[in-house]
Amino acid sequence: MQRAKNIGYDDDDLYDDDDYYEEEEAEPMSADDKEQMRISTISAREALGSAGSDISDAQIQEALWHYYYDVGKSVSYLKNKFAAPAPKEAQPKKEKATSRFDQAATAAVEKAPVPAGKHSDDQYSYSHSIYPAASSFPLPPVTIPSTPQDFFADVPWGNVPADRLGVITIDEPHFKGGLLGGSSKLAALAAKRRKEREDAQAASNASSHTDAAVAMLDKLTMKGNGDSPSTTEADRPSRIAKYTARKRSPSPKPEAPAEEVEAEPEAPKPAIEVEFPAQRASASMFASTLCGPSRPPQPAAVIEEFPVPYSYYKEYQNTKPFDGPSPDDIVRAAQANKGTGTGRRITPKKKPAAAKNGDKLAESVEKLAVDEPKVKSKNLNVIDELQKSGMKRMANFVVVGHVDHGKSTLMGRLLYDLKVIDQRSIDKLRKEAETIGKSSFALAWVMDETSEERSRGVTVDIATNYFETDKSRFTILDAPGHKDFIPNMISGSSQADFPVLVIDSSTNSFEAGLKGQTKEHILIARSMGMQHIIVAVNKMDTASWSKTRFDEIKKKMTAFLTEASFAEKRITFIPLAGLTGENVVTKISNPAADWYTGETLLEALERIELPARQLEKPLRLSVADVFRGDMRSPLSISGRIDAGTLQVGDVILALPANQTATIKSIEVQDAPVDWAVAGQIPTLHLTDIDPVHLRQGDIVCAPKAPVKLVRAFTSKLLAFEHVLPMPVEVFRSTLNSPGGIRTLSAKLNKFTGEITKKKPRIVKPGEVARVVIQLEQELPIEEGMRVVVRERGRTVGAGLMENVA
Ligand code: GTP
Ligand code: MG
């Protein structure tokens, strides 16, 4: 959804993505929006029933606007926010308000109502399973209060006078106190700003304090779960490898677009300021040794109020009991260097000043580490090896589309039907999903592995999974649909050969998505140079497999995709239902869909033409993930090889750090290999490099033919929005820098590339122009590389680098 703000470039609010403020500064709604808002408001009122009596139209509409007219989510949010706690006897009933997704899903399989899911307003109710085997898990009838207030309603100390009430936010899985789906960082910013405004109106208004407290707590939570953009790489959770799916470890950083991040320091301070003095002690030698040098030492804090008891005693004052390696460290270090193959090399960062017995041993350990044998290269001719290996076709696809349109569920279904995921794992997921009232998400949980993703019912980071057919080996990159996680989606897209666009065919959902991330994801995929696209017209069960609805979506999408420069013959439409599996691996047998005789999703995946692999060119690998502390190596990276080949023992150059490393070992799809080629997404275990030198978005290349770092370059730009000289954010994969369109040199013919107009003043959507892009920070970009140009959180153009300016 795009709403231009009527403000100057120097206005702070230019970078403010706070919906609360946008609402006031937005341009008038279009006629379409108005009509949709009117219809959705009526539906929301109906769904709210008596719970909506105290909720104004404006509040309903604010929620609908945020959720792209998703009535289910808006109602769920409004109920949580405004509805009074339900009386005890009105607690969750199984037959109450079932979401339309769940109704359809269940009707298709069991013909029984399924409550809950994130759209349900009855979040704690238990459901029948959506799978046939579900009956093997009969669940006892459980009554759980619908709100925390309910839970404590009958305790004596609950009777506190209103003026003495405090507010404790509970990070319960279903509702975090803000609009669902927004990043907590933005929620905190929104709360701060809202509070400031309320302060101005009524300084003594108690609710403003509550908001500030909520904002504070929200911030604290962010630190705890690693969501905060300030979270360091070392703080992030380590790699999860359940089933076969993989989430990256330097993870989620649900990066808000950079401009939002920039705005934060200027945000007004809330009235309630909670200061947290820097009381973090520096890491002990033991911890530093274990964690490696990736994290700079923290300054030791002076804690006056609560000194460690023994620090009072004189004899301890000038000694540092934990300085130097502990006896355990020394033994472990020695073991690790005896070549057991499983130990990690331990090399204390600096020598402790005082020479003790243990230090001497540590010194000798250091020497051992230095003498570690270098990785030997087999000097293979990798292209010959590739030909000899008779390797199957390798395809990587990214699953994109608007939030909740069913991407993860579709992938879960694909893997389940192909028996990549066994029945037991699915049963386990189903049981867990039912336990938190999200039974309809069980299949999505095959891909969504983190607790945040599961409790909120949204994908946050790219999930990777693999499967193989007789002809091909596939890598799935399941992208998040929510607009807050676009940088993660860009990262996934930069590794893919083609996109599978998932569209929810149900009434209003398709239309809402087209204005939101359905549109943006298509533009990003095209910006990355992808030419073929599969459009999975999903949830056709909710549209009763209507040919008319399918044709309508096909017509609108074809018009949109061709405008975004996808050739019509390279677009494949498939009507399917991820939840129930029709046309995913097996053809639909429902007579209502007799009209469709085309391919299943799997057939289309096997047929689609892949881009030519640039095997002969110098190595180029875009780093999508960085893993630290793996048993095999202190630093591992993964990412797609865009060009060239590599093998064990190769020395590579990491940019922009300009540091070399040696490849110690390689894995492709979790199996160890000696070499990898363009088109594959290997994990490289590296040595001879300090982990600080590699980050997500970096480029790894051949040291003899490095990519140059550039600060300004000429690019062909396909405009998706009006483009003029203006500040922009330039993404090369996930590596990005603020910058600007410096000059519009010429407009070009879209097909021939000939100049049609010199020095245009503006480039319109759909036009191609030659522009000069200026960057604030140097980025490794070379001729032929693709860049995504974004402005204020919107993708405005796709660039193809021509030369250094
Ligand atoms: P994000 O990753 O957060 O963007 O969402 P997503 O696109 O991965 O959607 P997800 O797979 O999480 O599914 C969202 C909801 O749609 C869940 O409740 C699913 O059960 C439901 N759903 C998915 N596919 C179908 C389908 O084919 N039919 C019906 N009726 N519901 C579906
Ligand atoms: Mg998902």
- Residue-wise pLDDT for 441-453, tens only, equals 999 999 998 888 9
Confidence of residue 338 (pLDDT cuts 50, 70, 90): very low
Which-ligand-closest: CA of 538? 1
Q: Is the pLDDT of residue 713 over 50?
A: yes
- Residue-wise pLDDT for 30-78, tens only, equals 677 787 788 888 888 888 888 888 888 888 888 887 777 778 778 888 8
Q: Is 408 in the pocket of ligand 1 (CB under 6 A)?
A: yes
Q: 675: Cβ–Cβ under 8 A, 6 or more apart, which residues?
A: 380, 382, 385, 386, 645, 646, 647, 648, 666
Strands (E), 154-291: 246-247
- Segment 77-103 mean pLDDT: 51
Higher pLDDT residue, 118 or 439?
439
pLDDT reported for residue 199: 58
Q: Looking at this protein, which amino acid is placed at residue 485?
A: F
Q: Looking at this protein, which amino acid is placed at residue 658?
A: N
The CA 67 to ligand 1 mean position distance, Å, reads 15
pLDDT reported for residue 441: 93
Confidence of residue 471 (pLDDT cuts 50, 70, 90): very high
Rg of the chain taking only CA atoms, in angstroms = 28
Distance CA(316)–CA(376), nearest Å, equals 49
Q: What angle do CA 653, 659, 664 make, to 5 degrees?
A: 65
The CA 102 to ligand 1 mean position distance, Å, reads 10
pLDDT reported for residue 630: 64
How large a percentage of the chain has pLDDT more than 70? Answer: 59
Which atom of ligand 1 is found nearest the CA of 447? 8
Q: Is the pLDDT of residue 663 over 60?
A: yes
Higher pLDDT residue, 271 or 562?
562
Q: Is the pLDDT of residue 674 over 50?
A: yes
Token reading at 588 = 């639909």
Residue 700 near residue 662 (C-beta atoms within 8 A): no
Residue 220 near residue 198 (C-beta atoms within 8 A): no
Q: Where is average pLDDT lowest: 23-32, 221-230, 784-793?
A: 221-230
Which residue CA neighbors atom 2 of ligand 1 most closely? Answer: 459
Q: 568: Cβ–Cβ under 8 A, 6 or more apart, which residues?
A: 558, 561, 562
- Segment 94-109 mean pLDDT: 39
The CA 484 to ligand 1 mean position distance, Å, reads 18
- Segment 499-518 mean pLDDT: 91
Q: Is the pLDDT of residue 773 over 60?
A: yes
Q: Is 588 in the pocket of ligand 1 (CB under 6 A)?
A: no
Higher pLDDT residue, 122 or 383?
383
Confidence of residue 632 (pLDDT cuts 50, 70, 90): low
Which atom of ligand 1 is found nearest the CA of 480? 2
Distance CA(455)–CA(436), nearest Å, equals 8
pLDDT reported for residue 229: 32
Confidence of residue 340 (pLDDT cuts 50, 70, 90): very low
Q: Looking at this protein, which amino acid is placed at residue 350?
A: K
- Segment 396-418 mean pLDDT: 96
Higher pLDDT residue, 258 or 805?
805
Confidence of residue 464 (pLDDT cuts 50, 70, 90): very high
Which residue CA neighbors atom 22 of ligand 1 most closely? Answer: 406
Burial 436-455 (b: 16+ CB within 10 A, else e): bbbbbbbbbbbbbbbebbbb
Which-ligand-closest: CA of 120? 1
Distance CA(295)–CA(802), nearest Å, equals 38
Q: Which residue in 749, 757, 801, 756 sits closest to 779, CA to CA?
A: 801
CA 319 to chain CA centroid, Å, is 47
pLDDT reported for residue 158: 43
DSSP string, 340-372: -SSSPP---SS--SS--HHHHHHHHHHHHHHTP
Q: Is 536 in the pocket of ligand 1 (CB under 6 A)?
A: no
Mean pLDDT of the chain: 70
Q: Is the pLDDT of residue 280 over 50?
A: no
Distance CA(289)–CA(283), nearest Å, equals 9
Higher pLDDT residue, 362 or 307?
362
Confidence of residue 262 (pLDDT cuts 50, 70, 90): very low
Q: Is the pLDDT of residue 188 over 80?
A: no
pLDDT reported for residue 685: 94
Confidence (pTM): 0.58
The CA 484 to ligand 2 mean position distance, Å, reads 13
Q: Is 440 in the pocket of ligand 1 (CB under 6 A)?
A: yes
- Segment 544-566 mean pLDDT: 94
Higher pLDDT residue, 500 or 264?
500
The CA 36 to ligand 1 mean position distance, Å, reads 22
pLDDT reported for residue 720: 86
Q: Is 403 in the pocket of ligand 1 (CB under 6 A)?
A: yes
Q: 222-226 long-range CB contacts below 8 Å, 24 or more apart?
A: 222/184, 222/185, 222/188, 225/452, 226/251, 226/252, 226/253
Distance CA(699)–CA(656), nearest Å, equals 7
Confidence of residue 755 (pLDDT cuts 50, 70, 90): very high
Strands (E), 204-315: 246-247
